[in-house]
Amino acid sequence: MHDSLLLFGATGDLAQRYLFPSLLHLLRDRLLPADFRVVAIGRSEHDDEGFRAWLRERIGNGDGRNDGALDDLLRRIVYRSIDLNDIDGMAATLAPFADRPSVSYLSTPPNLFEPACLGLKAAGLLAPPSRLVLEKPIGHDLPSAREIDATLKSALDESRIFRIDHYLGKAPVQNLLALRMGNTLFEAVWQHRWIESVDIMVAETAGVDGREGYYAGYGALRDMVQNHMLQLLALIAMEPPAALDADSIRDEKRKVLRALRPMTAADVGVDSVRGRYTAGVVEGKAVKGFTADSAVETFVGLRAWIDNWRWAGVPFRLVTGKRMPSRNTEVIVHFKPVTHWVFDRPDQAHAQPNYLRMRLQPEETIELGLMGSLAAPEWGATELQPMSLDLAMLPPKRRIAYERLMIDALKGDQTLFVRDDEVEAAWRWIDSVSAAWQQAGTPVQDYPAGSWGPAAAAPFLPRTATGQGPI
Ligand code: BG6
C-alpha cells in the first residue's frame, strides 16, 4: 500500500467536505499505513501550521469523536502553495516528495489536469509505481476527453490511472452487484423477457449555488448523467462478469455503454426532457432560481435504450434534477405482469407487477414488491394485495464513498474506478444527446424550485418519487 498522498485542490470544497474527513475516519479506524503522509496543494498562501489551523476549523472532529485522530491527521500534513500552470515551479517544489511511491489526487478543474500531469511528471512523481487519481469531469465531450487522456498516457499507463466516480464508492451501489449476482432468483429473470423497464433517479434538493461557473458550462447531462447515472446503468445492465477483478467488470460495463442507442433529433422529442429551476421553495425555504447566462439544464429526463439481446425493448428512464422537493436516489426494476392472471380480486388491470426497489439516498433500503393474499382464503374468493418485502440489512457503519476509493487507490485496486474506454463510450452517447438537442432545438423548460421538474417530465419520473401512487 502506498503511503504518500499528494492532494491537489486541498482548499477546495470537495477536499473540505469529503476528502479530508475521509482520511480522518480512515486514520481513526487504523486503515492507513503507519508512515502515511499528505502533501496538501492549493493556490492559497499558507505555511504548514497555517493550513493545519485552517483545516482544523473546517473539518472539526469529523464524526465528533475527540480521540486524537484529528491531531494525528494534521501532524501528517504539509502544505505547498503552487500555481499549476507553472510547470517548472511545480516540479521544483514537489520533487522532494518523489522519495516514495505516491498517489497524486487531482481534485481540480479539468483544465488543470494537463499542466498538473506535466508538472508531476517533471517532478518524478508519476514514475512507476506511483499513481494518479482524477476527479470528474474528464473533459466536456469526447474530443476533449481524448485530449486529456493523451496527456495522461504520455506520463503513465492505464494501470496507474484511477478515474473517480464517487457513486462507485457508495456501499449500496456495490450491493447492487451483490444482490444481482449472488442470487439465482434475480439473475434468472434479469432480462427483457421478464423486465418491463428500469428507473434510475437522482433527485437533489440542493441547487447549483457556489458552482455557477462550472455548472453553466456543463448542465445536468454532463454533470450527472455522463458519469454517475451511466455507471449505475452499466452495473444494472452488464453481463455477469466471469470474475470480480477490475478488468472483467470494466469490460462488461464498457460493452453496455457501447450498446446504448445514440439519440437522434427525431428521438429527443419523445425520449428526453430538459428543465431549469426558477425561484421557489424547497423544504420550506425560499430559494433563488438558476439564472446563469447559458442554456444549460438543471433537470434532465431521458429514455435510454440498450441495443443488445438482454435488453431489447426495455426502456431505462434516467432522471436527475436539482432543487427537487426531496432528496431521493433510487433504482427501480419493474418486472412484467404475470403471463396469465387467474384472480378476480383484484382483476388483472389492478394487479401490481413485481418490482425491486433499491434506494441509495437518503436511506439505504431494498424492497421487493410481491403480490400475496393475507386474507384467509377459506372465507371465499382469494384476494391479493401488494406486499413489500423489506430486504434491508441492519445498516453497517455508514462511510463516505471516498473512504473506500482512497483506500483502493492507495492499494492499487482499480475495480471501482472508471477505465478510459468506459469514459469514451459514455461521452459518445452523451454527445449524441447534446447534438440531437441542438439539432432539434429542444427547449429548456422552466420549473419552480421545489417541484418535480417541468410538466413534460411526468412520464420520466418514477411514480414513487412523486407520490403519484404505487410503483
Ligand atoms: C457530483 C456533482 O458529482 O455529484 C454534483 O457534480 C452533485 O452536482 C453530486 O450534487 C451528487 O452526489 P451525491 O453523492 O450527493 O449524490
Residues with CB under 6 A from ligand 1: 204, 206, 223, 329, 361
* Secondary-structure breakdown of the chain: helix, strand, coil percentages, each rounded to the nearest 5: 40, 20, 40
CA dihedral 219, 256, 253, 329 (to 10 degrees): 50
- Do the Cβ atoms of 367 and 389 come closer than 8 Å? yes
Structure confidence at residue 31 (pLDDT): 96
Non-local CB neighbours of 39 within 8 Å, separated by 6+ positions: 4, 5, 6, 7, 77, 78, 79, 80, 94, 97
Query: In whole angstroms, what is the distance from residue 47 CA to residue 132 CA?
Result: 25
Report mean pLDDT in 10-residue bins for the chain, 471 residues: 97 95 94 97 96 93 72 97 94 97 94 93 97 94 95 95 96 89 93 98 94 92 98 97 95 98 97 98 96 92 98 98 96 96 90 93 89 72 86 73 97 98 98 98 97 96 71 64
22, 140, 223, best to mutate for ligand 1 pocket (most atoms within 8 Å of CB): 223
pLDDT for position 96: 97
Whole-angstrom distance, CA of residue 112 vs CA of residue 84:
7
Measure 16 CA to ligand 1 centroid, in angstroms.
15
Give me the pLDDT at residue 306, please. Answer: 98
Q: What is the pLDDT of residue 37?
A: 98
- Specify the pairing of strand 280-282 against strand 285-287: antiparallel
Domain ranges of the chain: 4-165, 170-399+419-466
Class of domain 4-165 (CATH, top level): alpha beta
Pull the grid cell for residue 31. Answer: 486503515
Looking at ligand 1, which residue's alpha carbon is closest to its atom 7? 224
Pick the catalytic residue: 25, 140, 228, 334? 228
CA–centroid distance, residue 209 to ligand 1 (Å): 13
List the residue whose alpha carbon is closest to atom 4 of ligand 1. 224
Residue nearest to atom 13 of ligand 1 (CA): 167
For 219-239, the DSSP string reads HHIIIIIIIIIHHHHHHHHSP
Question: Is position 46 annotated as part of the catalytic site?
Answer: no
Ligand 1 centroid – CA 222 distance (Å): 12
pTM here is 0.95
Q: What is the per-residue pLDDT for 234?
A: 98
Tell me: domain 170-399+419-466, CATH 3.40.50.720, correct? no
Q: What is the whole-number distance in angstroms between the Cα of residue 395 and the centre of ligand 1?
A: 22
Candidate of 164, 228, 300, 418 to mutate for ligand 1, largest count of ligand atoms within 8 Å of Cβ: 228
290 CA from centroid of ligand 1 (Å):
17
